[in-house]
Amino acid sequence: MNSESANSINSPSIKIGICGFGTVGGGSYNLLQNAGDEISRRVGCSIDVVRIASRSLKLEDIDTTAIISNDPFDVVNDPDVDIVIETIGGFDPAFEVVHQALANGKHVVTANKALIAERGNELFAVAEENSVTLAFESSVAGGIPIIKALREGLAANKIDWLAGIINGTGNFILTEMAEKQRQFADVLVEAQELGYAEADPTFDVEGIDAAHKLTIMASIAFGIPLQFDKTYTEGISRITPEDIGFAKQLGYRVKHLGIARRSGNGVEMRVHPTLIPRKRLLARVDGVGNAVLVHGHAVGSTLYNGPGAGADATASSVIADVIDIARQKLAGLSKPLLPALGYLSMHDDLAVLPIDEVETEFYLRIPVNDVVGVMAKISSILQDFDISIEAVIQKELDSKTVPIVILTHRALESKLNSAIAAIEALSDVSGEVMRIRVETFDD
């Protein structure tokens, strides 16, 4: 036996309790079992699961020496447990479980993005009061270590902006629509059959899941408190194969992005369908993959790409947090080395801008009656609101109604809204104007 292995065995073990034994909880347990020797070599001691709380797991279902119960509070109140892994999901009882664990002086690792985005400010305060860590790498982008990248790897940078494909379900749907010219509703059914989308897909397709993740990333990137309620959120259910085709003609792809940007007036936090240039690497991330593009003032643009969900990928991030905490405990640190959101002093003066105050380029698809002069009227309205046109596609169809597609230069959202209202009021406009924001992410 070499000295390294002997030291590992002689060191005290770190004892883990897992609350919730579904995809992520079970995956985390399996990773600790299957890679235990390698993890011990990295940490300097063994990491042992001693308690599991699950509503469905039975002792005969798993080969383990851990105590199994159906009450997560058995885990958080056990004095032998050093670190609690929370993979219950949702708010109830997850919030109470995490809160109690922290109050008991236990470190917590969670994959619960909704909990962090909406209640994180409160929970981080409890963690700080008790000198313990609340770690959450796995809450954003699955196996991609984006939290560590933003908080630690890019700590010397002032982050200018970030943009991410951070929901695999939405990315799968848009990819299928683009590659096979399929309708949104048809692809959604397939995504549900494949297990990519839930029976109720609202959180995924309407952008709520992505908004939770963007809220967390923006807080770390800009040093602002978590403010999920101020994140503008728009889904992909109105996107059509027609829009995707027109975007391709203009040199773009349609992606569902979370975008956070520091501007002169404050911080933008928004989730919505977005046209991005096809040449961008971000535009080529397809299927259920995730990717985050970050621009720092010193390093420039860096791209983080990988699996955004799944048992193994998410467990990779969960156990990475466990390893960090174990190292901290073995070093004898009396309090966490890193602030949870990366800043000891937050930028409380950076306001989150309402969407009306955001300026972008726009794609507009306007259904009009095929009559002379309608384009001139639309152009006049856009000019009245200081919106200039970059490109136009006007299709001649065997129909009384034709689409006019316009790509605008940068314009203020509030002005664009007023222009759309005026355009839709025209007698020769036969339906609602489809609007998709455009981002080029120039360096």
Measured CA distances, 164 to 54, 167, 213, 311, 402 (Å): 33, 9, 9, 21, 34
| Annotated catalytic residue, options 15, 106, 148, 213 | 213
The CA-based diameter of the chain, rounded to the nearest angstrom, is 87
DSSP state of 152: I
Q: Which element (helix H / strand E) includes 261?
A: strand 252-262
Is 279 in the active site?
no
Measured CA distances, 32 to 8, 16, 26, 147, 315 (Å): 16, 10, 10, 21, 9
Looking at 154-303, list the stretches that DSSP marks H as alpha helix, in order from N- to C-terminal side. 168-180, 184-193, 202-205, 208-222, 241-249
Judged by phi (left if over 0) then psi (alpha if -120 to 50, else beta), residue 237 lies in alpha
Return the residue matching tokens 């000891």: 344
Q: Which residue type is seen at 147?
A: I
Identify whether the C-beta of residue 239 lies closer than 8 Å to the C-beta of residue 177. Answer: yes
Return the residue matching tokens 């959180």: 203
- What is the CB-side half-sphere exposure of residue 386 using CA atoms within 13 A? 7
Q: Which residues contact 74 (CB under 8 A, 6 or more apart)?
A: 51, 53, 67
Can you name the residues that pair with 361 across neighbouring β-strands?
Answer: 438
Cβ atoms within 10 Å of 71's Cβ, excluding its own: 14
Closest among 49, 57, 12 to 31, alpha carbons compared: 49
CA torsion, points 267, 269, 275, 279, in degrees to nearest 10?
70
Identify whether the C-beta of residue 44 lies closer than 8 Å to the C-beta of residue 27. Answer: no
Residues with catalytic roles: 213
